[in-house]
Amino acid sequence: MRNIGSKRLAAVACAGVLALATACGTSSGGSDGDKKASADQGGFSAPDVPMATAIGDPEGQVNILAWPGYAEDGSTDKTIDWVTPFEKESGCQANVKYFGTSDEAVQLMKTGEYDVVSASGDATLRLVAAGDVAPVNTKLLKNYADIAPFLKDQAFNSVDGQMYGVPHGWGANLLMYDTEKVSPAPTSWSAVFDDASQYAGKVTAYDSPIYIADAALYLMDTQPDLGIKDPYALDEDQLAAAVEVLKKQKENVSEYWSDYLKEVQAFKSGDSVIGTTWQVIASVAQGEGAKVEAVLPDEGSTGWSDTWMIGAEAKNPNCGYLWMDYITSPKAQAAVAEYFGEAPANTQACSLTSDPTFCDTYHAEDAAYAAKIHYWTTPIEQCLDGRTDVKCTDYGDWTTAWTEIKG
Amino acid sequence: MPPMLWLGVAYLGALAALLITSLWTQNDFTGEIERAWTLENFQDLFRVDVYRTITFRTIGIAALVTVIDAVLAFPIALYMAKVASPRAQRLLVIAVLMPLWASYLVKAYAWRGMFSADGPIAWVAAPFGLHSPGYGLFATTVTLSYLWLPYMILPVYAGLERVPSSLFEASADLGAGSWHTLRRVVLPMAFPAFVAGSIFTFSLTMGDYIAVKIVGGTTQLLGNVVYDNQGAANNLPFAAAVATVPIVVMLGYLAAARRTGALEQL
């Protein structure tokens, strides 16, 4: 019920924000001019937001915006709790709000209500460019030194060598299926695309424009002629091909999900039998008795690499820094990574996981494997795959395309 | 006067702000609103086919829900107003109001359970070799009809109560059968009440997006497009442009309702 309540609240809040944003006028966006200057990273330069120089006295609370499963306080499962130890240790009460899509995270960060956010690669640069997050002084974070080097100073979490957050962890989107109704076990994404009709009306997919990349990734494999090199760099023809795949898929889709509990429930009741998922959803569904498995298909997958960022207008920056340091500590990282089912950014966590082979299973220290996952990235006009002879479709185009796919 | 002022500022002011926002545009990357006047959002609204499809689908469902509720409400309201004893009448009014005490979400999720593959509808249909219709337009229509039914019953009940019982006797004395009396005497007199009820059911359906998200499967209505653009894509200007569509439709509906003269008779 917590989730339902918060959704309702979010709806009310959105309505309120809508009224305020329109009625209050020029509080945001007045300085668009300087924010849009061109630079090498996809046509933007980061606005000047001051960076913290020291961690002061904790404010007593911190407002955390996180992916579901990133800040568990024992309310989902009594044994899953790394927020309470943080609260005791730091003296900061943690107020956690989960979000379902990167768009939602970007939208909620704009309210200025949240101190820290776990942002994926398709949200990070948008937050930086909008001036909604501040650069992070990594010297203040004890655990930063232990973060896997291949996650530091990446295009999606830094600008001009300045980190805008602390890497949290990374992983791949998986294919979940009902072991009783789907056999043999699927090994390819074709189970939800070209062969989806055998599960007509029981297929599910992620309700966000970024899901178009999953179709593009599938096309990289099945239609090499299209010349897709990067599923986030699609020119108009390539986008049209991906949209075609998704429109065909829609005929077999029961519903799209963005609320993870809705997907768990749909698999439990049998309304969905196959579709894209995260490891944590599969684990929760299994915990509730659903007969499901999640696999990484042969084509590879889209995935995420998440970064804890701090709000530019954070009201509790000290507690925010304490949280960022805590959540990247080996102990917390081991707990989150095992619960969520992802590779921890802090590889010291690997010796603390309850399953000693956990980090090997998730290739946590394997930079070459990490490079194979197509991490969520915001599509922009300048093709991310380096093509200069053609304009790529940007996220706005993807949003419109997604509405058209859903029809 | 102060109440009118409130309405003007809080209600019309918000609408005006909405209209102004719809004439701005948004930076797709940062999500910042760019305050430059443009009709781009409205051009997109007309240019891209999918928005037209969604608009017609929404109007269609709103009309269907209104008709279903009117058909269901009439016998219930007639029984409440003209047949039931005063005590039963009070109990029935409470019974009709009762669902309004429960949260909207609880009711919508209850219907999600009803339509699920292992829910009661599937269970009843199974012996006949049928399945639950699943989530989609049908489930949405049923759920919305259920949710808004009290809003139709109450005005129709109030309208029928005002029809003098003596008219029933007069009609019978003049030789009309009960069917004829209903059609020629009761329905015309209750028509304004139906129009009043339909304004509720129609407008509430036009704006709904939560029930659609819960039981609608892949269906989108106008409310979902607004929600997805505002809540997800963060494109407030386009969301505002889409939001003007139901406003225009409702203004048209209210104008049509006025032409029938129904509003004056209320």
B257 touches chain A (CB under 8 A): no
* Per-residue pLDDT tens digits for A40-50: 445 567 788 88
B80 falls within a domain: yes
* Domains, chain A, with CATH or none: 31-170+305-375 (3.40.190.10), 174-300+384-406 (3.40.190.10)
Beta strand pairing call for A116-119 and A302-311:
antiparallel
Q: Which one of A33-37, A153-157, A248-252, A391-395 scores highest in mean pLDDT?
A: A248-252
Query: Which residue in chain B has the smallest CA separation from A132?
Result: B30
Query: Which residues on chain A are in Cβ contact (under 8 Å) with B31?
Result: 106-107, 110, 126, 130
pLDDT at residue A382, rounded to an integer? 83
Amino acid in position A407: G
Location of structure tokens 């049908």: B138
Query: Which residues on chain B are in Cβ contact (under 8 Å) with A129?
Result: 29-30
CA angle (B7, B8, B13) in 5-degree steps: 110
B220 touches chain A (CB under 8 A): yes
pLDDT above 50: residue A396? yes
Work out how many domains chain B is built from and give that number: 1
Give Cβ neighbours of residue B2 (< 8 Å, ≥ 6 apart): none
**Secondary structure in 3-state letters for A338-387:** HHHCCEECEHHHHHCCCCCCHHHHCCCCCHHHHHHCEECCCCCCCCCCCC
B167 falls within a domain: yes
Q: Residue B215: give its domain's CATH number.
A: 1.10.3720.10
* Residue B251 banded pLDDT, cuts 50, 70, 90: very high
CA distance A195 to chain B (A): 19
Q: Do B225 and A403 touch (CB under 8 A)?
A: yes
Query: Which residues on chain A are in Cβ contact (under 8 Å) with B239?
Result: 18
* Residue B211 banded pLDDT, cuts 50, 70, 90: very high
Query: Which residue in chain A has the smallest CA separation from B237?
Result: A22
* Per-residue pLDDT tens digits for A202-240: 999 999 999 999 999 999 999 999 999 999 999 999 999
Query: Which residues on chain A are in Cβ contact (under 8 Å) with B33?
Result: 21, 28-29
Which range marks the domain in which residue B253 is found?
52-265
Q: Does the structure's ipTM exceed the value 0.95?
A: no
B7 falls within a domain: no
A129 touches chain B (CB under 8 A): yes
pLDDT above 60: residue B73? yes
Whole-number average pLDDT of chain A:
86
Q: Which one of A17-21, A104-108, A172-176 scores highest in mean pLDDT?
A: A172-176
pLDDT at residue A220, rounded to an integer? 94
pLDDT at residue A18, rounded to an integer? 41
* Residue B13 banded pLDDT, cuts 50, 70, 90: confident
Query: Which residue in chain A has the smallest CA separation from B243?
Result: A18
Beta strand pairing call for A133-134 and A302-311:
antiparallel
Query: Which residues on chain B are in Cβ contact (under 8 Å) with A28?
Result: 32-33
A404 touches chain B (CB under 8 A): yes
Q: How far apart are CA A277 and CA A179, in angstroms?
A: 15
* Residue A180 banded pLDDT, cuts 50, 70, 90: very high
pLDDT above 80: residue A4? no
B38 falls within a domain: no
pLDDT at residue B232, rounded to an integer? 65
pLDDT at residue B177, rounded to an integer? 85
Query: Which residue in chain B has the smallest CA separation from A22?
Result: B17
* Per-residue pLDDT tens digits for A117-145: 999 988 998 899 889 999 999 999 999 99
Neighbours of B12 (CB within 10 A): 10
Share of chain A above pLDDT 90, in %: 61
Sort residue A360 into left (φ over 0), alpha (ψ -120 to 50) or beta. alpha
Smallest Cβ–Cβ distance between A380 and the set B29, B119, B134 belongs to: B29
pLDDT at residue B265, rounded to an integer? 59
B220 falls within a domain: yes
Give me the DSSP letters along A98-164: E-SSHHHHHHHHTTT--SEEEE-HHHHHHHHHTT-EE---GGG-GGGGGB-GGGTT-TTTEETTEE-
